[in-house]
Structure 1
Amino acid sequence: MNIIYLLLALSVLVALIFFIAFIFSVKKGQYDDVYTPSVRMLFDDELVKQKSDKSSSTKNKKSN
């Protein structure tokens, strides 16, 4: 029966620690951005710039 009281006290302590961490992160502004996630899917991915023809032709000559 004593183990139940110990486990109950430990679970309440862990819950309080997580609650305090949550309150701390909210006060620090961790969850302030509500606009960006809703429009992130509308942004285009950045295009990868291709290397110039000079560097690719040099690479081809070296491999031959």
Structure 2
Amino acid sequence: MIDTYFSTYSNIYFTGDGAKRDEDGYFWITGRVDDVLNVSGHRLGTAEVESALVLHPVVAEAAVVGLSIQ
């Protein structure tokens, strides 16, 4: 049997969201673990944007970071 996340923690569902647990036992969502952003309801991969940016001749490196504006 392959030891996976689900076989180790059978009562936990992995959603891809990061979370922390406070001293009272409550979980607080801290953000996504993957590189996918939700922009106006559309899922956008940061790697795809970075790849498009570095195709330009004057761009040597690129990094895309999502900011939460509420």
Q: Same fold (TM over 0.5)?
A: no
TM-score with structure 1 length normalisation? 0.26
TM-score with structure 2 length normalisation? 0.25
- Give the greater-gyration-radius structure (CA): 1
Higher relative CO (Cα under 8 Å, sequence separation at least 6) belongs to 2
Q: Please identify which structure carries the higher helix content.
A: 1
